[in-house]
């Protein structure tokens, strides 16, 4: 390089390539069975940004959500390696190669609540249940799609972590906290593996979010945050879809906390 040469690389993204639009991109959102959940809100937002969206959950209610959103629904147990493989083939046959993956599966529901038990009383089966549905699902789905993204030179993976584990923890939540901390570790390691292939991998860590699965205690926790309310699925979805977009081209291996500032303050206060 001569003193008069331009030091700016020639392959920097153009203004057009840093849009939020995802027109024609194939996106898969896992864990989108609840109409009031983060997965559903994310799928709706990706659809509105122009993506061809597939959603998946463990029950046939996913087809109701798919009809509501005018997207494509699939049923699969994402803790089962063979079912994840079959899902990958089915999405490719129906919509094309997945370019955007949101690993939202694993969050609890009323039908499948979080295991709350001290470590000394936690059974191995309960431990494995939390690890499998929160961490193994993200691993299996990422593994199924990241290779194709890297070969094509573009992709986005966003994993749903939580503030519990990576940022803080409560008694009786060791398994869930370990799984969500593991999601962040997986995110960062995978991001470094494919950083040269045009694939960005990030995590979003929600705090207390008001969904159909929220308990009274969780909603009270939301009222105790600096913003004096819980967050909404739409607010989390906005963060997720930004990281899915071309506009997030220079962000990878990061965890974006969406908790109304709760993890920032040093102590409780009143205003």
- pLDDT tier at 1 (50, 70, 90 boundaries)? very low
Residues annotated as catalytic are: 176
- Mean pLDDT across 88-92: 98
pLDDT > 70 fraction of the chain, expressed in percent and rounded: 90
| Cβ contact 37:110 at 8 Å | no
Whether residue 128 has pLDDT greater than 70: yes
Q: Which residue has the higher pLDDT, 239 or 116?
A: 239
Q: What is the pLDDT of residues 46-70, one digit of tens each?
A: 999 999 999 999 999 999 999 999 9
Residue 181 confidence (pLDDT): 98
With vertex at residue 174, the alpha carbon angle to CA 103 and CA 201, rounded to the nearest 5 degrees, is 25
Cα–Cα–Cα angle for 128, 158, 138, rounded to 5 degrees? 20
Residue 161 reports pLDDT greater than 60? yes
Query: What is the dihedral sign for C-alpha 23, 26, 27, 32?
Result: positive
Rounded Cα distance, 209 and 222, in Å:
7
């Amino acid at each position: 390089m001569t003193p008069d040469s331009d030091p700016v690389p020639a392959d920097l993204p153009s203004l057009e390539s840093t849009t939020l639009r995802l027109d024609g991109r194939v996106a898969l959102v896992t864990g989108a069975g609840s109409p009031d959940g983060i997965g559903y809100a994310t799928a709706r937002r990706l659809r509105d940004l122009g993506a061809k969206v597939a959603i998946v959950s463990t029950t046939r209610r996913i087809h109701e959500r798919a009809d509501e959103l005018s997207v494509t629904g699939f049923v699969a147990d994402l803790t089962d390696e063979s079912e994840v493989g079959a899902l990958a083939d089915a999405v490719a046959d129906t919509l094309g190669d997945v370019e955007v993956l949101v690993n939202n599966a694993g969050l609890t529901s009323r039908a499948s609540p979080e295991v709350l038990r001290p470590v000394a009383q936690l059974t191995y089966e309960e431990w494995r249940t939390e690890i499998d549905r929160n961490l193994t699902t993200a691993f299996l789905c990422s593994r199924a799609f990241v290779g194709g993204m890297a070969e094509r030179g573009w992709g986005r993976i966003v994993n749903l972590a939580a503030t519990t584990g990576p940022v803080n923890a409560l008694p009786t939540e060791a398994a869930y906290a370990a799984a969500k901390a593991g999601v962040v570790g997986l995110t960062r390691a995978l991001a470094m593996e494919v950083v040269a292939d045009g694939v960005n991998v990030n995590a979003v860590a929600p705090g207390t979010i008001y969904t159909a699965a929220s308990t009274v205690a969780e909603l009270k926790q939301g009222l105790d945050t600096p913003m004096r309310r819980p967050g909404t699925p739409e607010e989390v979805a906005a963060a997720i879809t930004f990281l899915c977009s071309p506009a997030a081209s220079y962000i990878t291996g990061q965890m974006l906390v969406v908790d109304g500032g709760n993890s920032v303050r040093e102590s409780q206060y009143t205003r």
